[in-house]
Amino acid sequence: MFSHIVSANPVVKALIEGNAPRPAQVAAARGMLPLPESDLLEVLVTFARSSDHELAEHAAASLSTQDDGLLTGLLASAEAPVHVLGYFAELDNASSKAHEAVIRNTNTPSDSILKLARSTRSGELLELLALNQQMLIRTPALIDAILANANRTSEAERRAAETKREFFEKERGTQQIANELRAQGNEAGAEFIEKAEFAQDLDGAGMDIDDALFLASLIEVSDDETDDSWMGLEYIEEYYEETEEQRQAIVNKILGEMRLESTDLPSERISILNRIMKMGMKDRVKLAMKGDRESRNILIRDPNRIVAQAVVQNPRITEQEIEKIAAMRSVSEDVLRKIANDRQWSRSYAVAHNLARNPRTPIANVLNILSRLQLKDLAALAKNKNVSEAARRQAYRLSQSRKGS
C-alpha cells in the first residue's frame, strides 16, 4: 500500500504505511476521517490503488463524490502529489474540469497524460493538449495519440499535425533542427547546420532529416575554434559544383583506398562515406575542419586538395592521425608539405620518417628531413626504389658520411 508521501501530517503517514488502526483506515477510506482536504485526497488515492479490496472499494466511492470545484483546485496546485495527478489523469470517469486541471499541471506524469489522450472522448481536452506545444515536443507519442483519437476536433488535429511537421518531420526548417541540436547541448552541430549549403534545400541535396542530423553529429569543433586564414584566394577560386558522376568517382576512389587498408570494410563506414559525399565541396571543407576522427579519416582521401588540406587544419586532429597521413601515398603534396613545415608535427620522428619515405612528399621537404634520420633508416631509404633518385642519393651520402667512409 505504501506510496511516496507528500503530506507532513503524521496521521497521513500512519494511514498510508498501514500503522493506523483498522477502524481509522476504513473511516479514512469512506472519507469520514477529519483531515485537511489535500491530505484526505492523498490517502484516498493511495487506498484506491491498494491491493486491500475493502479500502480500495470505499476509497474509489469516496473519490467519485468529491466536490468538483474543490477537487479541481487541489489538482491544479503545484503541491499536488504526482501519484494523485496520475490517478485522475487515467480515471476515465473523472470530470472534464479535473482532467483539464491535471493537463495544465506540469507535474502530471507524461505517461498518464498519454493514456488520457488515447482514451478521452472529449474533443475539447484533445484541443487543450494540442495547444501545449512544449508538452508535445517533450512527449512526441502524445502527437500520435491525439491524431489517432477518433474524438479529436479539427483544431486539435491541425495543431498536432503542425507541431509534428515543424519539429519531427523533414519539412521542418533548418532553424528548428539547429534549435533541437542546441537543446541537446550540440552547439557546434547547430552552427554547422545553420551555415551548411545542403541544409538550405535538403531535398535538392538528396538528403532527408536523418542525414542532416547524422552529419551534425560528426561535428566536434565550434566556429570559434577554427581558423580558415590558411585558405587564400587561390583555394577559394577552386570551389566548384561537382556532377553526380564526379561525386560517385570520389566515393569509389575513397572506398578503394579504404578496402586496401581493410578487406572487411563494415557497412556502417560505407554508409558514413555515402552520407558525407551527399554534401557539396564547401560543406565537405567545413566538415573536414570541424568533424570527428571518422570524418577526418574519410575526407583526407578526398581528391580535392582543399578538402584534404582542411583536414589537417582541424584543431582536434591527433599526432597519431598525422603520422598515418604522412605515410599515405594518395594525399596531395600540399597536405604533406603542410605537415613537414609544421613545427609541432615535424618534431615527431615517426612523422618525419614517414614523410621521407613517401614519394609524394615534396623533395625540398624530404632533403631537410634526411639529416634528422637515424643511420639505419638512411641506409634503408638509400635502397628504397619507391622514393625519388635525389632522395636516395642524398640518403646514401649521409649514411656513408656517418659511417666515416
Local structure of 210: helix, strand or coil: helix
- Compute the C-alpha angle 242/334/381, nearest 5°: 130
Residue 233's pLDDT is: 63
Residue 317's pLDDT is: 96
Contact 127, 98 (CB under 8 A): no
pTM for this model (two decimals): 0.58
Helices (H), 132-208: 133-138, 141-148, 154-168, 174-183, 187-195
Contact 9, 39 (CB under 8 A): yes
Query: Looking at 23-83, which runs of residues are DSSP E strands?
Result: none
Q: Identify the helix (H) or strand (E) that includes residue 377.
A: helix 375-382
Tell me phi and psi for residue 291, to 5 degrees.
-85, 175
**Could you state, in order of their start, the residue ranges of all structural domains in the chain?**
10-168, 174-213, 331-405
**Each residue's pLDDT tens digit in the chain (405 positions)?**
445 798 999 999 999 999 999 999 999 999 999 999 999 999 999 999 999 999 999 999 999 999 999 999 999 999 999 999 999 999 999 999 999 999 999 999 999 999 999 999 999 999 999 999 989 988 999 999 999 999 999 999 999 998 887 777 644 567 778 888 888 889 999 999 989 998 888 878 888 888 888 999 999 999 999 988 887 766 666 677 788 889 899 999 999 888 888 777 888 889 999 999 999 999 999 999 999 999 999 999 999 889 999 999 999 999 999 999 999 998 999 999 999 999 999 899 999 999 999 999 999 999 999 999 999 999 999 999 999 999 999 999 999 988 875
Cell of 308: 584534404
Residue 171's pLDDT is: 47
How far is residue 367's CA from residue 348's CA, in Å, rounded to a whole number? 16
Alpha carbon 164 to its chain centroid, in Å, reads: 19
**What residue type is assigned to position 256 of the chain?**
G
Contact 199, 191 (CB under 8 A): no
Considering only CA atoms, give the Rg of the chain: 34
